[in-house]
């Protein structure tokens, strides 16, 4: 399935819903799409909703780390939500869990922003 990125906002939190497969062939689509969203909102709280993202290759994880660090430098935050089991395995195997926070649902991720301000 082709990669898609869709944006919505909920109580000031920017939610980017990713669908399809994120690998070396679609990573550019993610980077461009997310750049457009982040250029619009700038320093904000972001959640990547990965519920419908069926596959993430190492290129995809690299892109997540890139965006996390790029936006982090601007004072923005990114959190991951609703990761599929395979992705979650790689997420902790590679150690990305030590850098980007992940939550079971978008709501939990949004709530965590509320708690930490």
> 101 is written with which tokens?
């926070």
- 64 alpha carbon, distance to own chain's centre: 6
> CB of residue 19 vs another protein: minimum separation in angstroms?
13
- Site residue total, another protein (CB under 8 A): 21
> 50 is written with which tokens?
């990965």
Find the part of the chain contacting another protein (CB under 8 A) among 6-14, 22-30, 77-85, 109-117. 22-30
State yes or no: residue 31 binds another protein (CB under 8 A).
no
Pick the binder of another protein from 31, 57, 84, 112 (CB under 8 A).
Answer: 57
Whether the Cβ atoms of residue 20 and residue 26 lie closer than 8 Å to each other: yes
> 35 is written with which tokens?
């750049």
Pick the binder of another protein from 28, 32, 74, 99 (CB under 8 A).
Answer: 99
Provide the Cα torsion 30, 72, 14, 104; round to 10°.
80
Whether the Cβ atoms of residue 102 and residue 68 lie closer than 8 Å to each other: no
Q: Which residues between 59 and 98 bind another protein (CB under 8 A)? A: 59, 61-62, 65-66, 69, 90, 93-96, 98
**What residues make contact with another protein under the rule CB under 8 A?**
1, 21, 23-25, 55, 57-59, 61-62, 65-66, 69, 90, 93-96, 98-99
């Amino acid at each position: 399935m082709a990669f898609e990125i869709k944006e919505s906002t909920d109580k000031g939190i920017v939610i980017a819903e990713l669908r399809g497969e994120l690998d070396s062939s679609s990573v550019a689509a993610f980077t461009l799409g997310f750049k457009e969203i982040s250029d619009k909102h700038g320093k904000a709280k972001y959640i990547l909703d990965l519920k419908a993202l069926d596959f993430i290759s190492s290129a995809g994880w690299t892109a997540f780390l890139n965006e996390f660090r790029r936006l982090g430098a601007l004072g923005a935050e990114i959190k991951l939500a609703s990761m599929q089991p395979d992705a979650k395995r790689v997420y902790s195997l590679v150690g990305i869990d030590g850098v980007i926070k992940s939550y079971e649902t978008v709501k939990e991720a949004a709530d965590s922003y509320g708690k930490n301000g």
